[in-house]
Structure formats: structure tokens, C-alpha cells
Chain A
């Protein structure tokens, strides 16, 4: 089945230790999004790719970086995680920007 896959589902890291979260999709969608969601809050868009074009949100900290080496894969790098970065990280794809988004199951990040 076509889907959006996120690995790992749970990630524990130490304060300041870099971490990479991954997302892959079999939907062949042009657009990929990364969201941060804290408990009982709305998903907050960090950045998105339209094909290879990277679009960063104005309020996304420099600590967060992303790579999209090909259509299928997208990575979220957190260079120096702080306690405030503990959250659920959601990846989503869309065939048409602004239309229906298909979400992965998320990666729960814990920072010790």
C-alpha cells in the first residue's frame, strides 16, 4: 500500500546531541512537509519542499535543518536539541500543494 513512513517511531537523544529523523513515501508526491507538534497543540509547520525547492518558515529555528535527496526521502536534522524540542515530529506529503496531505505516524522525540 502507498504510504508515508517515518523512522524511528520513538527517538531518545541527549541535550545537544544531533539527531536525524527520516521520512519516506511511496506516493510519488511532489510536496513534503515537516511539522512539529507539542502536546495538545496544533501541528506547526517547520518547512516544506516543492520538488527540490526548499521553503523555510520564518519562525523555524536555525537549529532545524532538512534534506531531500530524492522524491521519496526527506530528513529532519536537529543540530543541537534542547529540552524545548521534545515533541512529535510529523511528516506529510501532498501531490498538489495546499490540497490533501497524507501524514506519517510521527516520530516522538524525547530529549534528556
Chain B
């Protein structure tokens, strides 16, 4: 399977703390994306990082990409209760097959 692995599977932190989740993948990629999913809802795109980029920021989000290790991390700073959700990484392989392969997800709970 080309599915990515995320760790931890679940993470609980206090509001205001930083949350870090990691994604590993198996094939060479064109880009890696992070999505958020609130319970029972569709996914929402957060950030896209291309294979020639190493770090990207968007508001309280920071994403890093290490293509030599085939891994990425998502950091959420100053967490809020509204950040409680599942977070998925997704990769587009460089085979040009027009699709994303999603990781297993991290369930993040922010404790008020």
C-alpha cells in the first residue's frame, strides 16, 4: 500500500500548547498536503507544500517536508478548542496519476 502513516494516532493537549503531528510516506512525491476533518464532516484543505520546498507557514500552521526521509510534520501553535479535529496528510506521487493518497490521520483533542 502507498498509504502514508501518521503519528501519533491520537493527541490530547491543553489549550494554548503547541501540537505536532508527523506523516511518513513511501513514494517520491510532487506535493504533500494537510487536511482537517471535523467529526462527521468533509475535509478542509490547510496547506500544500511542494517537493522542492522545505518549510511553509500559514497563520498558526507550520509544515516541514524532508524528502530524503519521506516525512512531513504539521505544527499548530497556540492551540484552540476549535482545532479539535482529525488531521490527514495526503501526497501526490510523481507518477502523475492525478490523485492523492491519504495518510491514516491524527485525532487531535484540545482540552479547554
Answer yes or no: are A and B bound together in one complex: yes
A: residues with CB less than 8 A from B are: 4, 6, 31, 33, 40-45, 48, 50, 55, 88, 90, 92, 97-106, 108
Q: Decide: A90 and B42 in contact? CB cutoff 8 A.
A: yes
Name the CB-closest residue of B to A102.
Answer: B45
Interface of A is mostly: strand
Q: Decide: A104 and B42 in contact? CB cutoff 8 A.
A: yes
Inter-chain contact count A-B, CB under 8 Å? 63
Selected contact of B102 from candidates A4, A42, A88, A98, CB within 8 Å = A42
Name the CB-closest residue of B to A33.
Answer: B99
Q: Decide: B45 and A48 in contact? CB cutoff 8 A.
A: no
Given contacts A42-B88, A92-B43, 7 further A-B contacts (CB under 8 A): A42-B102, A43-B43, A43-B88, A50-B98, A97-B98, A100-B48, A103-B43
